[in-house]
Structures are given as structure tokens and as C-alpha cells.
Amino acid sequence: MSAGQTQAKPANQHLRRNPPIAGEAEAIAAAQAGDERAFETLYALHKRRVYSLCLRMLGNVAAAEDLTQDAFLQLYRKIGTFRGDSAFSTWLHRLAVNVVLMHLRKKGLPQISLEEALEPSQDDGPRKDFGDRDLQLSGSIDRVTLERAVDDLPPGYRLVFVLHDVEGYEHNEIADMLSCSIGNSKSQLHKARMKLRDLLRTGQRKENAG
Amino acid sequence: MTTTRPCKTDMNCADFQERLPELFETHADLSTEEHLKSCENCSALVRDLEYIAQQAKLLLPIHDPSPAVWDNIRSAIRNDPGPPKSGQPPVPTAGR
């Protein structure tokens, strides 16, 4: 299977990512009516996913907690507008992504546009691979190592990689979120995977040498 | 298992790797790529990129925020109980 095939989204992709949750519909209805306990239930059901998303996009615990808080406060303000056209978790997830992107635009990337931020300096970028066949990643990377390598990606690469490969968004959705072209999103994803490979191989070399 | 050998020229690798993002995006069957039949280096690259994409999908949410996050949210919404009706001021956002 090619990476292209790997990233093909099956029809039930969003169901896999957003399976129905028992008691969620009742909690949504009650929270829309102002029930704080119901809102707390929604928080308990979704805090892990929202926080993990924030943490992976930002790579910073304090900022991720702040933005998790912001996302749920926005949810509180907007929950009355949820009509069930999509899964609640999909809707909330998109809301959280927007909160993070807004934060990055306001705080993280004040001088440059996100499009420019998506193009890290040459030093950060991947290079063509013409040799060094001493290492193979397949079968050798655990989750913690991959998480750490994702953390070490340049921010623009990390955003696209997390949104596409981890969270399952399509390039057209990412382009819309990041206000960049679909081609740019595709290009950045490839560069992110190449950069990740570099990072993971470097880590393996260090382990082997140590 | 097919035995591959290193590619003789870097130029072929450069050309192939230029095309690689599009090949992935179009879900092309890479097993039919002539270059991969003769280039161990690019074959390894493709295997690694496939592996990274597969592993990324397994990065399910595992992190939990600290209890202080809910405490702050609860405190904020208690200052403005109930989902706001139109015309009400918004609840405060996280202080940073």
C-alpha cells in the first residue's frame, strides 16, 4: 500500500474518528437548555480529544490548556447554534482547530502570513534522499517517539501533518482552514513527512550510537 | 521478495522524488514504478513515508488537560450562567 493509499479516506473515516457516544445527544440538548452539569458531561467526553489536538498543534502544555479552555468557552457560547448537521465531535473539533489557528495568527505568527509560515527556512526543510540506506523506520517507531518527532517539526509542517495525517482532514479542508492553496497543503504534508523521517532516523542513529 | 539495488544516478532519484508527492496524492500504485524496481534508496524512502503516514493514524488522543482547566471554565460560565441569548455579552476567554 502506498502512502497515498494510506491517506485515502474511507467513507467511514469520520465515523471511525467520531463514533457516536452514548448519552451525548441528551447532554447536548440539556446543555443547549443551560444545564451546567450537561455541559460538564460534554467537557468530560471531549476534553481529551480537544486538548490532544491543541497540544499537538502547539507543542506547548500551557498554551494547549489555555486554548482548550478557550475552545470550551466558545462551545458554551455557540452550543445553541449546533443543529446536528454533522457529528457533534466533528463540529467541536473544527471549532477547536479554529481557536488554535486564531491564536497562532494573533500571537504566534504576527509578522508573517500563515502561508509564509508554512514554508520553513531551507535549513528546516527536507532534503532529497540519495543515500544512507543504513536505517529503516518500518516497524521500529513507537508512539512516544513519533509524538516527540512531531513536536520537533517546524510549526507550519506540524500543523499540516497533524491536521491531515493525525486528524484526518482533507487537503481542501486544510487549505480552507489555513487560507492556503490545496497544492501548498499537499506540498507541506510531503515535506513534513520527509522532515519527520529525517528526525526519526537521526534519533535512531543517536540510539544506536549510545 | 524482490531484490533491489542502489540507483546508479542521483538524477533518477531526484526526478522520482520530485514526482513522489503527486504519486502519493493520486494514490498511484507505486509497485509499477520502474525506478523503484532498481533503486533501493527510493524504495526505502517510500516504505518509510508509508510507515509514517500509517503510524500517524494511530496517534489517538491520549493527553488530558489538568483539572484546573475545567475549574477555570466552570468559573467563567458561572459568571454568565446558561448559554447566552442574543444581546448578552460573551463569557470571558482564558486569561493569557
Residue A106, pLDDT score: 82
CA distance A113 to chain B (A): 22
- Chain A environment of B14 (Cβ under 8 Å): 128, 130
Residue (of A33, A191, A45) closest to B81 by Cα position? A33
- Contact (Cβ atoms closer than 8 angstroms) between residue A141 and residue A200: yes
Q: Give the Å distances, CA to CA, from A130 to A97, A200, B56.
A: 37, 17, 25
Full-model pTM = 0.76
Flag whether residue B78 sits within 8 Å of chain A, measured between CB atoms: yes
CATH number for A20-108: choose from 1.10.1740.10, 3.20.20.150, 3.40.50.720, 1.10.645.10. Answer: 1.10.1740.10
CA-nearest residue of chain A to B29?
A: A2
Q: Which of B41, B58, B84 sits opposite A131 (nearest CB)?
A: B41
Domain spans in chain B, listed from the N-terminal domain onward: 1-80
CA-nearest residue of chain A to B15?
A: A128
Distance separating alpha carbons of residues A27 and A110, to the nearest angstrom: 38
Say if the Cβ atoms of A73 and B93 lie within 8 Å.
Answer: yes
Question: Per mean pLDDT, which range of A41-50, A61-70, A201-210 is the poorest?
Answer: A201-210
Nearest 5°: the CA angle A154, A132, B16 is 75
> Residues A110-161: pLDDT tens digits?
333 444 455 544 444 445 555 555 556 767 778 888 999 999 998 888 999 9
Residue A113, pLDDT score: 43
Domain spans in chain A, listed from the N-terminal domain onward: 20-108, 114-209
Distance separating alpha carbons of residues A169 and A14, to the nearest angstrom: 9
- Contact (Cβ atoms closer than 8 angstroms) between residue A40 and residue B69: no
Distance separating alpha carbons of residues A60 and B59, to the nearest angstrom: 17
> Per this entry, what is the length of chain A?
210
The residue-averaged pLDDT of A163-185 equals 91
Is the predicted pLDDT of residue B1 greater than 70, yes or no? no
Is the predicted pLDDT of residue B90 greater than 60, yes or no? no
Flag whether residue A25 sits within 8 Å of chain B, measured between CB atoms: no
Q: What percent of chain A has pLDDT over 90?
A: 49
pLDDT grade for A8, boundaries at 50, 70 and 90: very low
CA-nearest residue of chain A to B89?
A: A77
> Residues B15-47: pLDDT tens digits?
888 888 888 888 888 888 889 888 988 999 999
CATH number for A114-209: choose from 1.10.760.10, 3.30.43.10, 1.10.10.10, 1.20.1250.20. Answer: 1.10.10.10
